Structure 1
Amino acid sequence: MKTPFTEAEITRRKPVWIGLSDVFLDTDVSLFDARLSKTLKESGFDADEVEKILREEVGPVFFTNLTVVAGEWAGWPDEWIVSEVTKYLSKTEVLRIAQKLRSKPVVDQLVKSDWLRVKTLTWGAT
């Protein structure tokens, strides 16, 4: 699949995609904060880049889990997460933008709550 990223960039992003997908689970995601924080710190991305990955790569794929009555709560297989994100990134720019716009209200709410908590834990108050 053709994505906007090189194989090396995808390899670097995979653990971030997998970690950030947890914030879209239908459960108390604060239980994953320490693990997620460690993953994000080890990725070498800064807070702004991770938030961009959350908003533009992971959020548009997983936001619907928080819009259904009984969403996934136990987590998804890692390879499935990577497959879904790369499938999304392989879409045309118009389709990606449309999906990102659909996800925006849910992702914005996550940024105000769960992301700010994880960001502070990972990089401190900024």
Structure 2
Amino acid sequence: MKPPHEDVEFRMPVWQALGEFFLDNEPNLEYVARVCAESPYSLGELDQILFNEVWPALSPNLASMAGEWAGWDREWLTKRVLEKYKTGSSRVWWLNPAKLFFCSAWFSVRKEIEQRRTRENPAL
């Protein structure tokens, strides 16, 4: 997978969809699953995008008293993700209690992504 700064065009829809998890309202899980399923990224790559790119950029919103709820401006989101991007593995996400709690929703979305991809490409 290319680094994010070399892949902004394909990453942007995924960043915006995964950004739903960090808004101050209920995420639209169907939208997140649809966008991620239509993306060129494997589930492992989506994990990396979520925990190494989107999480470092947007997780502070979860602790904000007046967090963002309307959505993320594309230009701001791109700048923020590229600024906060963490290289390396997301293997130790379970050591962070906030990520562990957060992951229950992500696991549901991952299942939906797999189901959507299987329906669209039954030969897989």
Q: TM-score range by the shorter chain?
A: 0.7 to 0.9
Report sequence identity in percent.
32
Q: For the structure 1 residues 40 and 106, does the alpha-carbon distance in structure 2 shift closer, same or farther, using more than 3 Å as the test?
A: same
* Contact in 2 for aligned 1:25/1:71 (Cα 8 Å): yes
For the residue of structure 1 that corresponds to 2:64, the secondary structure is coil
- Deviations 1:19-73, CA, capped at 9 Å, x for gaps: 11111111111xx122211211111211121011111110011111111223111
Q: For the structure 1 residues 67 and 41, does the alpha-carbon distance in structure 2 shift closer, same or farther, using more than 3 Å as the test?
A: same
Alpha-carbon distance in structure 2 between the residues aligned to 1:5 and 1:82 = 9
Q: Report the Cα offset of residue 5 of structure 1.
A: 4.3
Alpha-carbon distance in structure 2 between the residues aligned to 1:119 and 1:82 = 23
Residue 54 in structure 1 maps to residue 45 in structure 2: no
Aligned residue type for 1:106: A
Counterpart selection for 1:22 from 20, 23, 34: 20
Q: Output the aligned Cα RMSD.
A: 2.4
Alpha-carbon distance in structure 2 between the residues aligned to 1:13 and 1:45 = 9
Decide which structure has greater helix share.
Answer: 1
1:88 aligned residue: 84
1:10 aligned residue: 8
1:110 aligned residue: 102
Q: Report the Cα offset of residue 6 of structure 1.
A: 5.4
The structure, 1 or 2, with the larger RCO (C-alpha pairs under 8 Å, 6+ apart) is 1
Alpha-carbon distance in structure 1 between the residues aligned to 2:38 and 2:46 = 12
Q: Which runs of 4+ in 1 moved over 4 A?
A: none
- Deviations 1:73-109, CA, capped at 9 Å, x for gaps: 12121221111111223xxxxxx47xx99xx443332
* Number of residue pairs the alignment of both structures matches: 108
For the residue of structure 2 that corresponds to 1:71, the secondary structure is coil
TM (norm. structure 1) is 0.73
Alpha-carbon distance in structure 1 between the residues aligned to 2:114 and 2:40 = 11
